Chains A and B, each alone.
Chain A
């Protein structure tokens, strides 16, 4: 995957809690057998009407967000199904960073395996970002090396990310290759471990 060290981008605010992966990408689009091309189906039932026409009242359809690369959302983002198609769709649409007060565990993991940076900030910090982005075109910088989010007007917040996913993201490593450096340990484990 692509390394991600520092990213500056336009914020798209999605002021909703419990955005589940069925919303991020509905099931009718899970039938493809490649990882590419899911962006067009992102938030499909919110972005498109029953005739597959863009709904003008859904904010992400506003052309001003067409270059947004940082999604800021409410609590428990990515809950529900484990479908990795959700981060694939977000990434293919152009999102590189997702900021929320909390994430569902499987979704959070899936992001880090695909070079998307999930950032947990406090409720107040997230609300401030959402308010700023709803008011005007709003750019922020996310620095994974320093674990900081900041804008040019004095907003600054620290976030935490465990060392392991952080290194994976910073270096863009292939996780299987890393694991295979421990092959001898897996071999040794298998000689003494019984599965009935």
Chain B
């Protein structure tokens, strides 16, 4: 999954034994809270004489719990996993990933077919499917959605480039399309507007889009799957202005119907788009998919669920309890529940008996503590950054906060992506307090004190839930070991992102998940031209790195590119703009009534493929 995520270790996984005994107060593992809860439910049932079914056998809506607040639903700012998860249901782009095929391959979405590419590889001609409509919305005349045309993509990508929008996704096309950067500069100087033509971005007729690149860009098709590149109707942007992020209008499988569908910081209900383009479930998968029942719905019309309900629950335990009770169709295992949920790599029999299934998938991600390179002290003192990285105990961090579900990160590239080097050991990620102390002395701060005896003090920005607080505390303790004092700030997810975007955060704990399975997606995080609002949140600037990065873009996967990637990795490892922490493994649970679940590590359009067996949920839900 893409983009920035919260790195509190529990995020992508696991659960507890206490919980599967819930509602059986005699079980000696039932916790106090559960006994109370059971009592409350028993009383409620007694009062209402409850025989009512918990789930409606005709309601096939999909319920998904998300662990952070959604900051807004504008696709050009979909740079965090949680907002993007919702945005990707409402908006669509030209292309998408095939749901079942691995390695991930791009297939047409709103495009009729994959683009025609000129011999030099620089001109892409997209044909757009005819008859695709935007959602019905008051922004259009008569409130009926207008047909999507090639002009909409020209407009949407210009909007992405428009410096006034400070888009967090501009990096995907920055410097790539002929004339688009010049257009952006002219717009900033108020010398151009949306009617000014751009050489490399033209609609030659109503359904043909011709894109001319400035140079080879092998990741173009990958970035076009991202919500940043989705089609946005200009009528809606004109009507809602700054409120557009609260009034999304797209062409995706789901839509917001009324204001009441979105309760801020709590719940987003999306309804099936009645005018969704004809789309069907894939008919071919990988070996094993058919046996796993993933092809049972082959060729059926998408999406399956009539409603998508996203519920924002920040704390682990309520999310877990809701998952167990069947209120979410799929859910993660919090760290405190892991030992009692997973035994010897398998789900405990009590949960299996309830029809719950375990899915283990390595995540293409890296968790890290970003260091603000514009900070007057941290940014200028390499040895200091190295010392901090060396004093951080990754093994213990992974054990304590992720139940060992992950491996220590040596650099930005996770295993499973071309360019990952298993044998590589980053000299500055090996936990060694004594070496860290020596390094700190070399940095000019023996014992964490400057020459005039002042102690080093930094502020760490992290999340606001209990697990994030303890991870922050763990980091502060490790820094205390070498004499550095860390003040911890708790932030809501939107607050944290705002601080990073405005470069106000000194140190911050965060994670990056691959947008597409290519190491370039990780290296672009260090490219100086991607500084905030782009994704280079450490504001790392290194001329040599930039040169290598630009060279690597011109190459396809090859030994030469891998060699470049290793050089880039070595620069990052040496400069230490991040304290690398881990690459995680996702442990996810699904209920027996959820069909077609195959974890898609990149992309967010999976809910349209998932099908809830409402009848089965109504029956099984009674026993939860």
Task: Say whether A and B bind each other.
Answer: no
A interface residues with partner B (beta carbon < 8 Å) = none
B interface residues with partner A (beta carbon < 8 Å) = none
